[in-house]
Amino acid sequence: MATLKIEAGSDNQVWVTLTRFSDDDLARLKKIPGHRWNPDRKQWSFPATEETRRALAEIVALPPAPPAPIIAVKPKVAAPPQKKPHKKYVPGRDKPLTTNPPHPFIKQVDDELVLRGMAYGTRKAYGQHLRNFFEWLTRERIEPAHTTRDQIRAYLVQMAMSGRVSAAYCRGARSALIFLYEVTLKQRDKVCDLPRMKRPQQLPVVLSREEVARILKVTYNLKHKALLMVAYSAGLRVGEAVRLHVNEIDSKRMQIRVTAGKGAKDRYTLLSETALVVLREYFQAFKPSGWLFPGDAPNDHLSERAAQEIFQEARKRAGIRKPATFHTLRHSFATHLLEDGVDVRYIQEFMGHDSIETTQRYTHVTEKGLERIKSPLDNLKM
C-alpha cells in the first residue's frame, strides 16, 4: 500500500512525498490535474483543492478527508554545500594507492608505473596484489628482497589452488610480481620463467533488447535513467560513465568523447538520439556543470559503487534474474550492434579494444541467424 506525506505549501498548493508505491500508484498520481514534479525537493506539487484530496485519498484506500492541521510544516532548508576546487581527472595523479606509511617497494613500483603513464586501474591492481604478497611473506617470515624463485612460485601455486580467486586474478598477481622483481628490484632470474595461467573461455552475460528496455522503463529517477541510457547506448565501462564531463557530449557530431579510458586511451563512441533527448531533460532539471553525473559533493563525480547499485536496483525492479552487472550493458551494446550487422571493426573502435579478437568473442553470443537453426530433436517424429 502506498504511503503519502502531505505538506502545505505557498500559493494554495500542497507538497506530496510518495513512498512504498507501485507502478499503478504512480500512474494514478500522474493523472491528478495540475501535478508537477520538483527534482530539487524530490516531491510532487498539486493544487490544494477538494479534487486533489479525494484523488490522493483513493491512492491510499482511505475515505476522503481534509488534511490534518499538522501538515503546515516549513520545509527544511539544507545548508549550501561547501564548494571545493574542481579536480580534473589525470591518470597517475588522481588518488593515492598505498597505505601510510607505504611499503617502500610498493612506492617504487607505483612511481615507475606513473612514469610509464599507466592507468589508475593498473596501478591500483598492482598495489593490491603486492600488498597481498607482502602479507604472505610476513606470515612466512620471508624478506621481499631475499625471496627465492621457488617461494614466489609457491605463493602463486597456493593462490591458484585456493579456489577463491579467478584465473584473471592469478594472471594479474603474476604480472605484478614480474614487474616488482624484473623492473624494480632488477632480479629477473626469479620470475623469468613464471608460467601464465590459461584463461577459461567464458562468454559474457548479455541482456536482450527487451530486458534492457525493461530496466530503463522502471528507472524513474531522471539522473539514474540518463546514466544507464548513456552507458548502454555508448558501450561505456562504469568508470568511463561516471567520469564523463559535460563538454564531452558532442550533440552536433552525435558523439561522446571518452577521456582516459582503459589503458589511459581516449576514443569517440556513439551518442544516441534517444539518449540525447533524456540528457537534455536531465540538463534542464539538474543543470550539471563539470562532471556530467556529479556525486554527493558537487565537485566530485558519482562513485562507481553508486552506479553499480543504481543498476542492480533497476535490474531487480525489472524482474531480471540473470547475473548481470553494470558492465553487462557494455556487453549488450556490442552484441546488439553485431546483430544489427555493424562491421566488427567499427565496434572495436567504439569499445576501445586493442585486439579485434577481444571484440569477436561477441559473435558467440549473438542471436543473429540462430532463429533459422533447429535442434535435431525438433525433426524427430514421435
> Which of 71, 87, 117 corresponds to the end of one domain?
71
In the prediction, which pLDDT does 94 show?
46
CATH of the domain at 163: 1.10.150.130
Q: What's the number of domains the chain is made of?
A: 3
User: Which range marks the domain in which residue 17 is found?
Assistant: 3-71
Does position 92 have pLDDT exceeding 70, yes or no?
A: no
CATH of the domain at 7: 3.40.1170
> Which of 48, 71, 94 corresponds to the end of one domain?
71
Looking at the structure, do residues 151 and 216 belong to the same domain, yes or no? no
**Residues that are catalytic:** 237, 262, 327, 330, 353, 362
Looking at the structure, do residues 262 and 293 belong to the same domain, yes or no? yes
In the prediction, which pLDDT does 93 show?
45
Core vs surface per residue 17-54: b (16+ CB within 10 A) or e: ebeebeeebeebbeebeeeeeeeeeebbbbebeeebbe
The grid cell for 380 is 524427430
Is the pTM for the entire model greater than 0.75? no
| pLDDT, tens digit, 9 for 90 and up, residues 99-112 | 556 688 888 998 99
In the prediction, which pLDDT does 221 show?
92
Average pLDDT rounded to a whole number, residues 185-200: 87
> Which of 190, 217, 246 corresponds to the end of one domain?
190
Looking at the structure, do residues 186 and 114 belong to the same domain, yes or no? yes
Does position 149 have pLDDT exceeding 90, yes or no?
A: yes
Looking at the structure, do residues 182 and 213 belong to the same domain, yes or no? no
81 domain residue, yes or no: no
Average pLDDT rounded to a whole number, residues 53-61: 74
